[in-house]
Chains A and B, each alone.
Chain A
């Protein structure tokens, strides 16, 4: 009976929305614990390990109760709205951030298609909304996500916040271009902007993940994703040391928490996006339940687990990088985007277009992979040559800004 009811995509989507929202919000809460744990392990500490569940069983459970305690704390803390903020925008900004970040889950294909009643025909997609423009929808959300940062920073009426907002705007706008170019590689190869079709183009006989075909494009998207989610080497809008948390400075209590949740949600969407575009989404090779042909409910659950596993793996990498790399300076950030990533992205998109043109409809997988690799290697070789040439010319990349006034040495007196 319930199976019959679920066979309508609309009903299934509603249930999936509830499930995904619950799971994801839990994942977001636990992402903060995960992050703190990994931060601790990277620094030879233990991390939060005290909070259990109300002393349940007398165990501490490795601090697994910590996110609940944190959430409770955020709810009951005083919510300070500073006197001179622009109140409507100040209140709206965290909401915009969180809503836009959460909307991304609507199009992510979690588990392919499902055959609910076992008659050999698939009934529903394990995806909240199968949009014709899934990829562009995610890009559009990325574009809208800037507003939370911008408005929050401006409305706070604080110079640090404004600096954070300005940096955030420039950074997100700049890094959307390499992201778009890297996405273009996957779109060209798959010939579709539908996320589930991009997955299907990577799996099955005679296909392979685009991360194998286009490793450089994969790295490019991965790196640009860091900037898009304001993560560590690119966390200039927040920059605790310089900007005392940037656009978050004036926020407290649940509003701060909403920005925080938005950041983690953004990370989850971003990694899911990466997994779909370049790592075959829910697919793993050689495992029968993870192929597009298997559509049972069990297979769906396996696929969802694999998808979430990929997301968690990339979240882990995000966190490792955070404790590995120092922050970029702003001019280095811009130079990286416009002088390195954008040309590389254009080159890779060109390579993908050429591959698509040459391969036509019949070409064996090996030859296609070899062709893609040749193109990727060519892009890298050109980049190395350009870099060597710049070195020959004596360009210095330490980031001396030639037109800035000199900095007085300490104690000399101006």
Chain B
């Protein structure tokens, strides 16, 4: 990748950052909203084209894959921008779902079916439903002040986009990774099958699909990480129970033989 392209990439990220900054919700009504969206859209399109030209396109043989890559990338980027810029929290959650689904589709395009569906089940199915649940419980009518105003928009945008630019520059740099292995490496990395075959029957691996590959690599190569994650989740679970557990007297003072009027006498209110 020539320096020109790299600078173009960074410039596009700067543009995108400026667009998102302008589009972030602020208290006063302003006409920059549209401009921000336009800038953001331009940055998204430009970034996509750059990425498509220098990273994905050379390794991709099917044009349909290419098309869907652009489609889902655009959906994901647009939805991601709306997650942070939409003033209504419920819409942010819905856009987050869209991001999760679009990213799952991108992962699916790379042949990692298991990861894609796991992303949907875990993110869209569990975490974001809980978000939506909490948002609905917390705020039933109207839009509150703290939702319509971004906190520290400048710092957040600069930090976020600088980090993204750094990562993208690194990925797009042919010296950082072997150019031939770019897309396949990504695919096998997420599928967990990039290493030397650990399945008992290497020939059957291609047919067995990546669910089995993921299972094998999780239970052999990454078993310690897996167990650690399990322990971490358990600790989180125990902690959550410990936090919410109040000592609730169970049927306090209720004597089944007592006359009806006495029942519930010592039950405390909340």
- Residue positions of A touching B, CB distance < 8 A: 86, 89, 131-133, 136-137, 139-140, 142-144, 146-147, 150-151, 153-154, 157, 162, 165-166, 169-170, 172-173, 176, 193-194, 395-396, 400, 402-406
> CA–CA, A137 to B124, complex, Å?
13
Question: Who on chain B is nearest to A165 by CB?
Answer: B136
> CA–CA, A75 to B136, complex, Å?
31
Known: A150-B129, A402-B252. 7 other contacts (CB 8 A): A139-B125, A143-B126, A144-B125, A147-B124, A154-B136, A400-B254, A403-B267
> Residues of B contacting A402 with CB < 8 Å?
248-252, 267
Tell me which residues from 117 to 155 in chain B have a Cβ below 8 Å from any Cβ of chain A.
117-118, 120-121, 124-126, 129-130, 132-133, 136-137, 140-141
Asked whether A406 and B113 contact (CB < 8 A) given A166-B137, A395-B250, the answer is no
> Residues of B contacting A136 with CB < 8 Å?
114, 117-118, 121, 211
In this complex, the member of B133, B137, B248 whose beta carbon has the largest number of chain A beta carbons within 10 angstroms is B133
Question: Who on chain A is nearest to B209 by CB?
Answer: A132
> CA–CA, A176 to B91, complex, Å?
25
> CA–CA, A151 to B90, complex, Å?
9
> CA–CA, A162 to B141, complex, Å?
11
> CA–CA, A172 to B126, complex, Å?
10
Shortest beta-carbon distance, B240 to chain A, in Å? 13
Question: Who on chain A is nearest to B252 by CB?
Answer: A402
Question: Is B67 interfacial (CB-CB < 8 Å)?
Answer: no
Indicate if the CB atoms of A150 and B132 lie closer than 8 Å.
yes
Question: Is B97 interfacial (CB-CB < 8 Å)?
Answer: yes
Of B121, B209, B246, B264, the contact of A143 (CB 8 Å cutoff): B121
> Residues of A contacting B132 with CB < 8 Å?
147, 150-151, 154, 169
> Residues of B contacting A147 with CB < 8 Å?
94, 97, 124, 129, 132
Asked whether A146 and B125 contact (CB < 8 A) given A136-B118, A405-B267, A405-B270, the answer is yes
Contact with A along B29-68 (1 / 0, CB 8 A): 0000000000000000000000000000000000000000
Indicate if the CB atoms of A132 and B113 lie closer than 8 Å.
yes
Question: Who on chain B is nearest to A141 by CB?
Answer: B120
> CA–CA, A117 to B250, complex, Å?
70
Indicate if the CB atoms of B137 and A143 lie closer than 8 Å.
no
Q: List 14 A-B contacts (CB under 8 A).
A: A89-B90, A132-B113, A132-B114, A133-B113, A136-B121, A143-B125, A143-B126, A147-B94, A154-B136, A166-B133, A400-B254, A402-B252, A402-B267, A403-B248
> Residues of A contacting B114 with CB < 8 Å?
132-133, 136
Question: Is B210 interfacial (CB-CB < 8 Å)?
Answer: yes
In this complex, the member of B90, B113, B211, B254 whose beta carbon has the largest number of chain A beta carbons within 10 angstroms is B211
Shortest beta-carbon distance, B113 to chain A, in Å? 5
> Residues of B contacting A400 with CB < 8 Å?
251, 254
Question: Is B3 interfacial (CB-CB < 8 Å)?
Answer: no
Asked whether A170 and B133 contact (CB < 8 A) given A140-B125, A403-B248, A405-B269, the answer is yes
Indicate if the CB atoms of B124 and A143 lie closer than 8 Å.
yes
Question: Is B268 interfacial (CB-CB < 8 Å)?
Answer: yes
Asked whether A169 and B269 contact (CB < 8 A) given A132-B209, A133-B113, A143-B126, the answer is no
> Residues of B contacting A169 with CB < 8 Å?
129, 132-133
Shortest beta-carbon distance, A109 to chain B, in Å? 16
Indicate if the CB atoms of A133 and B248 lie closer than 8 Å.
no
Question: Who on chain A is nearest to B100 by CB?
Answer: A144
Question: Who on chain A is nearest to B263 by CB?
Answer: A406
> Residues of A contacting B249 with CB < 8 Å?
402-403
Indicate if the CB atoms of A404 and B267 lie closer than 8 Å.
yes
Indicate if the CB atoms of A403 and B268 lie closer than 8 Å.
yes
Indicate if the CB atoms of A143 and B129 lie closer than 8 Å.
yes
Of A140, A143, A150, A173, the contact of B136 (CB 8 Å cutoff): A150
Contact with A along B71-102 (1 / 0, CB 8 A): 00000000000000000001100100100000
Of B94, B117, B250, B251, the contact of A89 (CB 8 Å cutoff): B94
Shortest beta-carbon distance, B247 to chain A, in Å? 10
Question: Who on chain A is nearest to B137 by CB?
Answer: A166
Question: Who on chain B is nearest to A404 by CB?
Answer: B267
Of B133, B210, B251, the contact of A132 (CB 8 Å cutoff): B210
Shortest beta-carbon distance, B98 to chain A, in Å? 11
Of B94, B120, B270, the contact of A403 (CB 8 Å cutoff): B270
> Residues of A contacting B267 with CB < 8 Å?
402-406
Question: Who on chain B is nearest to A155 by CB?
Answer: B90
> Residues of A contacting B209 with CB < 8 Å?
132-133, 194
> Residues of A contacting B126 with CB < 8 Å?
143, 173, 176
Tell me which residues from 252 to 270 in chain B have a Cβ below 8 Å from any Cβ of chain A.
252, 254, 264, 267-270
> CA–CA, A139 to B124, complex, Å?
12
